[in-house]
Amino acid sequence: MTLPHAAAAPPRVIGPGAVVGVLGGGQLGRMFAVAARRLGYRVHTFTPDDDSPTGQVSDLEITASYEDLDALRTFAGGVDVVTFEFENVPIDSINIVEEFVPVRPSAVALHTAQQRAREKMFLADRGVPTAPFAAADTLDELWDAVARIGTPAVIKTAAFGYDGMGQHTVTAPAEVERIWTAIGHQEAVVEKFISLQAEISVIAARGVDGAVAEYPPFENRHQRHILDLTTTPAAIPPAAAKQATQITRTVLEELQYVGVLCVEFFLSTDGELLVNELAPRPHNSGHLTIDAAVTSQFEQQVRAVCGLPLGSPEVPRPAAMANLLGDLWVDGEPNWAAACRFHEVKLHLYGKTAPRPGRKMGHLTATGRTVQEAQDRVIAARDALLI
Ligand SMILES: Nc1ncnc2c1ncn2[C@@H]1O[C@H](COP(=O)(O)OP(=O)(O)O)[C@@H](O)[C@H]1O
Ligand SMILES: [Mg+2]
């Protein structure tokens, strides 16, 4: 007779009523906090900014710099588990918090995704296709990198980039010196400029127990390198969708990831699927899951980091999301009443007080019988904001 193997101890569930800590105070933390509170958790936010979008909907906002180790210890001492909504939290700060409570996703996952060169090496080492790239630390290396990759190319700062910040297209080697000055002589990554058929993202969660749930691919359109519109189902070949999901699963496994991860992809005009970048957190393209999926990406993040079973990632109907940027405020307050007359459209605002061009202030979501119908709805409501 063979005895059954002793089952591994099930992971400890951090149940509703516990306190979840969030590092960062932006809109991603805000939507996470709303989801956590709906499930009966308390939320403490650690952010350098006072009255932050996350802090406004949290039980407690600790306002201090990420370098303030005493404040970090106080924060960590008051919570049961910690996640982050901001990618540039210093790893040293994460390590301090980890002495007290689990941080999910882990410092290793964050470290990998925090720096473009490191992230791309991680992917390349695992055979995950990316755009051809080269890293550069000095002006000479930048010349070499551009020569190797060829033009047109995109020069991106290796750290602290978001919404196209720190990105420059280079069409001729003569522009390299000017760009090196423009990026402030920082470490950079040079990427081949890809002729795009489509951009998609796959958002997936991995639980403490290793279970994985992925949303269907979302199709993303950008304006000025900033996400403008997301739709699903994505109009891409089924083979590309399958490959994107497979790659996302590989990344989750390789990082032994716990939480929600987004993988951004390019689908080139040649039909090649390439990973653009990783976001170790919920993602702007996933905002439509709040209204259109069985489980939102934020609830999924709560479930994953607290050790609860993951929810269904199904998106039962075609859906669309349009971002609302600070540009909408050029002539004063947008016409909210006009947008709210579109009954099938959901309005989300992030409670930010200072609209600036390019700054994400909120979004609109709609479902429809077709992608086109969902998209028409969010665009009509957005247009109405300026009437
Ligand atoms: N190598 C490239 N080829 C073509 N388009 C690119 C390339 N790199 C970036 N872009 C465009 O710029 C957008 C933002 O770039 P990304 O690297 O994702 O930076 P961010 O961190 O700002 O999101 C992409 O979604 C894409 O539309
Ligand atoms: Mg991006």
Q: What is the CATH number of the domain that holds 174?
A: 3.30.1490.20
Is residue 283 situated within a structural domain?
A: yes
Decide: 166 in ligand 1 pocket, CB within 6 A. Answer: no
Into how many domains does the chain fold? 3
User: Taking the CB of residue 59, how many other CB atoms lie within 10 A of it?
Assistant: 16
Residue 12 lies in a domain: no
Residue 171 CA to ligand 2 centre (angstroms)? 21
Q: Is the CB of 222 under 6 A from ligand 1?
A: yes
> Does 150 map to a domain?
yes
One domain for residues 337 and 251: yes
Residues 231 and 357 in one domain: yes
For residue 386, what is the enclosing H or E element? none
Mean pLDDT of 210-239: 97
Residues 77-112: tens digit of each pLDDT: 999 999 999 999 999 999 999 999 999 999 999 999
Cβ of 200 below 6 Å from ligand 1: no
Q: Is residue 35 part of a domain?
A: yes
Q: What residue has token string 């994460």?
A: 94
Q: Is the CB of 277 under 6 A from ligand 1?
A: yes
Any idea which ligand is nearest the CA of 116?
A: 1
Give the ligand with the smallest distance to the CA of 154: 1
Given CA atoms 367, 368, 371, 376 in this order, what sign does their dihedral have? Answer: negative
Domain-terminating residue out of 192, 208, 223: 192
In 3-state terms, what secondary structure has residue 311? coil
Instruction: Assess whether 44 and 81 both reside in one domain.
Output: yes
Tell which one of 228, 276, 277, 284 to mutate to probe ligand 1, the residue whose CB is within 8 A of the most ligand atoms. 276
Would the pLDDT of 23 be above 50? yes
Residue that the structure tokens 């998209």 belong to: 375
Looking at the structure, tell me whether residues 68 and 206 fall in a common domain: no
Instruction: Write the pLDDT tens digit of every residue in 112-165.
Output: 999 999 999 999 999 999 999 999 999 999 999 999 999 999 999 998 877 777
Whether residue 258 is found in the same domain as residue 307: yes
Q: Report how far residue 76's alpha carbon sits from residue 86's, in angstroms, rounded to the nearest whole number.
A: 17
- Is the minimum distance from the CB of 276 to ligand 1 under 6 angstroms? yes
In a domain, 127, yes or no: no
* Neighbouring C-beta atoms of residue 11, cutoff 10 Å: 14
What is the domain extent for residue 158? 132-192
Q: How far is the CA of 265 from the centre of ligand 1 (A)?
A: 10
Q: Specify burial of residue 66 (Cβ count, 10 A radius: 0-12, 13-18, 19+).
A: buried
- % residues pLDDT > 90 (the chain): 94
Domain boundary among 170, 192, 214: 192
In a domain, 55, yes or no: yes
Amino acid at 135: A
CA of 31 to the centre of ligand 2 (A): 20
Ligand at shortest distance from the CA of 119 = 1
- pLDDT score at 8: 59
Q: Using the CB atoms, write b or e for 38-49: b if 16+ within 10 Å.
A: eeebbbbbbbee
Give the residue carrying structure tokens 């306190």. 19
Residue 77: which residues within 8 A CB-CB, separation 6 or more?
Answer: 100
Q: Which of 60, 71, 111, 68 is nearest to 88 (CA)?
A: 111
Dihedral angle over CA of 30, 345, 222, 56, nearest 10: -10
Strand runs labelled E in 284-333: 319-325
Residue 167 has pLDDT above 70, yes or no: yes
- Ligand 1 pocket check for 24: Cβ under 6 Å: no
Is 54 within the bounds of a domain?
yes
Do 93 and 235 fall within a single domain? no
Looking up residue 266, the CATH number of its domain turns out to be 3.30.470.20
DSSP state, residue 59: S
Using a 6 Å cutoff on CB, does residue 193 contact ligand 1?
Answer: yes
Overall pTM surpassing 0.85 (yes/no):
yes
- Residues 219, 304: one domain? yes
Query: What confidence score (pLDDT) does residue 164 get?
Result: 75
Provide the pLDDT for residue 256: 97
Domain for residue 122, yes or no? no
Q: Cβ contacts of residue 230 below 8 Å, gap of 6+?
A: 201, 218, 219, 220, 221, 284, 285, 287, 288, 320, 321
